[in-house]
Amino acid sequence: MSKPLVLITGSTGLLGKGMEETAPAGFRLLGLHQRAYEVKDSRMKHLVLDIRDKRAVDKLFAKHKFDAVVHAAGIASVDYVEKHYAESLESNIVGTLNITSACRKAGIHLIYVSTNAVFDGKKAPYREEDAVAPVNKYGKLKVDCEKIVQETLAHWTIARPILMYGWNHIATRPNPATWIYDKLMRGERVQLVGDVFENPLFNIPCGKAMWAMIKKKPSGIFHLGGKDTVNRHQFGLAIAKVFGLDAALIDKVGSDAFPGIAPRPPKTSFVVARMEKELGVPAVALEDGLKAMKDSLVLRA
């Protein structure tokens, strides 16, 4: 009997990379991404396919029998969504409709990847059952996608990762950790806000949590986060400390220093008891996650 096949949409993103690096031996992986580039040195097969193209999505599902689908593809930049809403609707809503429709027809369990941006940031730490109240267009789109999944599928899980850090595939966008690291490495000053709090999530335990969901196929919502709640300024200081970079280059500012960007919920840290108890994935301390990130950089050099 052949090993079960798992589809990951958005496989070249930070979450896809975490899943690839933690993939158990008993599964085959197929990933898809949008832009026409080849992913080298990868343990999974990557396809270029735009999830907005319903015909292409249906053809893919007709060709393969997936054991489970992880749907992480879409526009994940809060500020890009705020400024390019029509394009983001197509990518996030039309794309999610196409993937859920294909899963519904084939009776496949879908794990939809949502976000902490579904909350308004006034009542942290958030549990899975807390009411959603997004404050920006990205958060609103993700709430709409969660509803599409919950209201149209019989078999689903919603994973809500919070601010993620780790090494991306080279072709993808930087994340806050690699952005801060690159700036400090170049000796440039960095302004980081002291009024936005999260419990950052290393993409490796995130990958492990996604695999636990694929194996167990639980119903409901799971909050995925790290052990320590910090503001972005403290996050930057932790990066400087672990990587031995100059913390004096980091300036603490308020969110009002960036008037042009989309509103951010101030405090969205998660309670991660469900992740720890039901998925068996312990929350990782920020310093430990950053040290593991540093060690994997040494291995790559």
157 touching ligand NAP, by CB under 6 A: no
**Contact pattern for ligand NAP over residues 17 through 56, marking x by CB under 6 A:** ---------------xxxx--------------xxx----
Q: 141-168: b or e for each residue (b if 16 or more CB lie within 10 Å)?
A: bbbebbebbeeebeebbbbbbbbbbbbb
Q: Give the number of other Cβ atoms within 10 Å of residue 192's Cβ.
A: 20
**Using CB under 6 A, which residues numbered 60 to 79 contact ligand NAP?**
72-74, 76
Q: How far is CA 160 from the centre of its chain?
A: 8
Give the closest residue to 91 by CA, choosing from 76, 79, 69, 110: 76
Give me the least distance between CB of 141 and ligand NAP, in Å please: 9
Interaction residues for ligand NAP, span 210-239 (CB under 6 A): none
- Name the minimum Å distance from CB 129 to ligand NAP: 19
Cis (ω within 30 of 0) for the bond into 125?
Answer: yes
Q: Verify binding: residue 91, ligand NAP, rule CB under 6 A.
A: yes
Task: Name which position in 6, 7, 12, 57 contacts ligand NAP (CB under 6 A).
Answer: 12
Phi, psi (deg, nearest 5) at residue 254: -100, 165
Nearest-approach distance from CB 248 to ligand NAP, in angstroms: 27
Q: Which of 122, 127, 173, 189 binds ligand NAP (CB under 6 A)?
A: 173
With beta carbons less than 8 A apart as the criterion, state whether 157 and 111 touch.
Answer: yes
Is residue 124 part of the contact set for ligand NAP (CB under 6 A)? no
Least distance in Å: CB of 187 to ligand NAP? 26
Tokens, residue 99: 């993937």
Q: How far is the CB of 33 from ligand NAP (least distance, A)?
A: 3
